[in-house]
Amino acid sequence: MFKKHYFDIGEFKKLGDKLSNEDKEGCYRTAISRYYYYVYLKIRDTILKYDEKNFKYFKNSSSHRLLTSYLKALDDILNLDGELEVIANYLSNLRELRNIADYETSERVRAC
């Protein structure tokens, strides 16, 4: 029998912090990726903690876009005046940065 294991996603943030202090483009690119997955998984796992019925939707490749849509819809349902929509937009922007960092080798990635 396999014992259920819960990975501490905070390790992604710690790794991102460590790598972002290195003055190398590969480190910046990897830090961006780790930060994105830290935020994405933190939000996703929080949602699944309270809304298990959507588990299957958040376990495939389309879950990245679905998560931002879910946050925006939840904002409307709960009448939060755009608070979750702001988070969804930040997540979407961070995903764009992650895609550049992971796939666009012709673009320079550096610290701000």
Q: Report helix, strand or coil for 99.
A: helix
Contact between 36 and 97 under an 8 Å Cβ cutoff? The reply is: yes
Q: What is the pLDDT of residue 63?
A: 84
Q: How far is CA 65 from CA 20, 35, 59, 74, in A?
A: 26, 17, 12, 14
Question: Average pLDDT for residues 80-100, to the nearest whole number?
Answer: 94
pLDDT-above-90 percentage for the chain = 62
pTM: 0.86
Question: Average pLDDT for residues 31-44, to the nearest whole number?
Answer: 94
